[in-house]
């Protein structure tokens, strides 16, 4: 792929080419496409939204039919393009950009491989029989169809397998493929296929397993090759242009930046204690309580909580009053004005470079490394099990929900643990999952505000 500056986009897939290409590209080699720098990043982010959505759905234990619906929605929302003829290009470009992003470590490769394979499976199922066959041809599967004589000789055994799975017996026009058994590990493991002399006989409706295994093995090899190219040349050649984008992409936070409170305009200082109880996520609630208790927070905590409060709508004057009221009890008014007020004004872009700083996303908070005496970070990641249980029960999480939350924590799904906490406390599902403390706050207010308004 060649990266070009904006406004010189050339599409090598003419409409004819697009029509004759299989509906799911197999991404065998990077196409000779020219890509605008801005598309390079934005297409990748859109595909990442799909993959992260799949990852989220799977870790939430969604059922296969729920996953099918989810993937189709995610694809529709994120992978469309204003020009229909560009949809295929977007698909291909975004895949190759993410391949660069995710080839760089073993863990990244593993994640990308499983999510791309899951995506491929669901997309394959949505295809017409004709499009499915086109892909099978690409993988040379159709030439392995069992002929009528061989079918007659194994018909009885195929029938036994079908019966054991409660499926109808195969008839003469059924199509079976004969492939090495290692090409369909999940069918073999689930005893869902006839095995004979090292071969598996795969029915047409099971073909997705076979195609997905071949897709996986092809992608796995190319990820290793891409990694070699990345380390030997691309990283250095592109150090001023693509490398910073590639390195930032896998840790990108994909939601809104919450630097300006949009939904609930401003919050008032007098309401803040109540809001902390009802609508702050655990990370902010913990820091808020510690500030009230110790009348002090170290720098990491002041940044994390301070920017969150700015994002929920505490204006600069109220923020100064809020921090002053607590800190002056410990360090005195003079020291507060001299040493701490500057950072607060700085967060609001009123000092230094006058940058309007953005509240931290969950990813950033979870990846932080709080030291002794720090109270910032994500409790789901940074608390001991005992402390986390105590904090959750203070928030009002019941014992059944607590076990689900702790389960997610054990599997290192910290944002899902937070999502389950949100759901337990608000009594409604949070399908999008929690990705940002300010999103937690806004979603909570959306639920609680109307209730409050109707009761007044």
CA distance 282 to 450: 23
Piece of 152-160, 162-170, 234-242, 411-419 that binds ligand SF4 (CB under 6 A): 411-419
CA distance 175 to 114: 29
Q: Which residues contact 397 (CB under 8 A, 6 or more apart)?
A: 405, 421, 424, 425
Rg (CA), the chain: 27
Site for ligand SF4, residues 363 to 392, rule: CB under 6 A: 365-366, 378-380
Instruction: By CB under 6 A, tell whether 280 contacts ligand SF4.
Output: no
Sign, CA dihedral 35-41-46-50, equals: positive
Question: For ligand SF4, which is the closer residue by CB, 327 or 440?
Answer: 440
33 phi, psi to nearest 5 deg: -100, 145
Piece of 106-114, 256-264, 331-339, 414-422 that binds ligand SF4 (CB under 6 A): 414-422
Instruction: By CB under 6 A, tell whether 258 contacts ligand SF4.
Output: no
Question: For ligand SF4, which is the closer residue by CB, 122 or 414?
Answer: 414
CA distance 79 to 22: 17
CA distance 33 to 9: 9
Task: Pick the binder of ligand SF4 from 118, 211, 283, 314 (CB under 6 A).
Answer: 283
Task: Pick the binder of ligand SF4 from 92, 275, 276, 434 (CB under 6 A).
Answer: 434
Site for ligand SF4, residues 16 to 55, rule: CB under 6 A: none
Burial category of 232 from C-beta neighbours within 10 Å (exposed 0-12, middle 13-18, buried 19 and up): exposed
Task: Pick the binder of ligand SF4 from 75, 223, 440, 445 (CB under 6 A).
Answer: 440
Instruction: By CB under 6 A, tell whether 306 contacts ligand SF4.
Output: no
Count CB neighbours of 216 within 10 A.
Answer: 16
* Cβ atoms 259, 295 nearer than 8 A: no
Least gap, CB of 411 to ligand SF4 (angstroms) = 14
200 strand-pairing partners: 179, 195
Question: For ligand SF4, which is the closer residue by CB, 184 or 362?
Answer: 362
Tell me the angle at which helices 282-294 and 272-279 cross, rounded to the nearest 10 degrees: 140
Instruction: By CB under 6 A, tell whether 437 contacts ligand SF4.
Output: yes
Least gap, CB of 51 to ligand SF4 (angstroms) = 19
Question: For ligand SF4, which is the closer residue by CB, 301 or 379?
Answer: 379
Is 143 part of any known ligand binding site? Answer: no
Question: For ligand SF4, which is the closer residue by CB, 306 or 379?
Answer: 379
3-state secondary structure of 312: helix
Among residues 228, 229, 207, 210, the alpha carbon closest in space to that of 218 is found at: 210
* Cβ atoms 44, 249 nearer than 8 A: yes
Task: Establish how many alpha carbons lie within 13 A of residue 135's alpha carbon, considering only the half-sphere containing its beta carbon.
Answer: 25
Is 418 part of any known ligand binding site? Answer: yes
Instruction: By CB under 6 A, tell whether 242 contacts ligand SF4.
Output: no
Among residues 361, 257, 263, 268, the alpha carbon closest in space to that of 314 is found at: 268
Query: Biggest alpha carbon distance in the chain?
Result: 95
CA distance 299 to 347: 12
Least gap, CB of 287 to ligand SF4 (angstroms) = 10
Instruction: By CB under 6 A, tell whether 214 contacts ligand SF4.
Output: no
Least gap, CB of 284 to ligand SF4 (angstroms) = 7
Question: For ligand SF4, which is the closer residue by CB, 75 or 380?
Answer: 380
Give the x/- contact pattern for ligand SF4 in 149-178, rule: CB under 6 A: ------------------------------
Is 430 part of any known ligand binding site? Answer: no
Task: Pick the binder of ligand SF4 from 53, 261, 281, 311 (CB under 6 A).
Answer: 281
Question: For ligand SF4, which is the closer residue by CB, 161 or 283?
Answer: 283
Least gap, CB of 366 to ligand SF4 (angstroms) = 6
Is 362 part of any known ligand binding site? Answer: yes
Tell me the angle at which helices 437-455 and 299-312 cross, rounded to the nearest 10 degrees: 40
* Residue ranges of the binding site: 283, 362, 378, 418
Residues in contact with ligand SF4 by CB under 6 A are: 281-283, 362, 365-366, 378-380, 414-415, 418, 434, 437, 440
* Residue ranges of the binding site for [4Fe-4S] cluster: 283, 362, 378, 418
């Amino acid at each position: 792929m060649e990266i070009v500056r904006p406004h010189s986009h050339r599409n090598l897939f003419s409409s004819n080419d697009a029509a004759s290409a299989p509906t799911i590209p197999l991404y065998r080699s990077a196409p000779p496409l020219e890509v605008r720098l801005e598309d390079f990043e934005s297409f990748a982010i859109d595909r990442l939204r799909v993959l992260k959505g799949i990852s989220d759905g799977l870790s939430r234990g969604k059922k296969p039919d729920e996953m099918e619906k989810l993937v189709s929605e995610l694809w529709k929302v994120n992978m469309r393009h204003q020009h229909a003829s560009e949809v295929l290009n977007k698909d291909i470009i975004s895949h190759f950009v993410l391949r660069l992003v995710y080839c760089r470590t073993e863990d990244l490769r593993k994640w990308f491989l499983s999510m791309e394979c899951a995506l491929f499976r669901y997309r394959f199922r949505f295809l017409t029989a004709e499009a499915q066959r086109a892909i099978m041809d690409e993988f040379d599967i159709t030439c392995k169809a069992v002929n009528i004589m061989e079918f007659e000789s194994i018909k009885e055994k195929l029938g036994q397998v079908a019966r054991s799975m409660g499926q109808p017996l195969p008839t003469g026009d059924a199509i079976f493929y004969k492939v090495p058994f290692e090409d369909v590990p999940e069918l073999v493991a689930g005893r869902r296929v006839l095995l004979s002399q090292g071969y598996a006989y795969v029915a047409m409706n099971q073909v997705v397993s076979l195609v997905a295994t071949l897709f996986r093995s092809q992608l796995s090899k190319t990820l290793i090759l891409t990694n070699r190219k990345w380390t030997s040349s691309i990283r250095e050649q592109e150090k001023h242009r693509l490398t910073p984008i590639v390195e930032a992409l896998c840790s990108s936070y994909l939601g809104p930046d919450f630097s300006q409170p949009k939904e609930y305009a401003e919050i008032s200082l007098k309401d803040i204690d109540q809001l902390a109880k009802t609508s702050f996520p655990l990370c902010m609630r913990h820091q808020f309580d510690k500030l009230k208790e110790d009348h002090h927070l170290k720098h990491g905590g002041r940044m994390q909580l301070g920017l969150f409060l700015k994002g929920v709508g505490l204006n600069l004057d109220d923020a100064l009053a809020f921090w002053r009221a607590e800190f002056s009890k410990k360090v005195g008014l003079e020291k507060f004005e001299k040493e701490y007020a500057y950072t607060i004004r700085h967060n609001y872009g009123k000092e230094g470079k006058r940058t309007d700083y953005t509240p931290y996303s969950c990813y950033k908070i979870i990846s932080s490394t709080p030291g002794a005496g720090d109270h910032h970070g994500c409790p789901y990641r940074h608390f001991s099990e005992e402390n986390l249980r105590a904090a959750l029960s203070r928030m009002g999480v019941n014992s059944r929900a607590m076990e689900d939350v702790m389960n997610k924590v054990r599997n290192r799904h910290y944002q899902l643990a937070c999502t389950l906490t949100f759901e337990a406390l608000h009594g409604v599902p949070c399908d999008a999952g929690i990705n940002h403390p300010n999103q937690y706050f806004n979603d909570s207010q959306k639920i609680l505000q109307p209730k409050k308004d109707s009761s007044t």
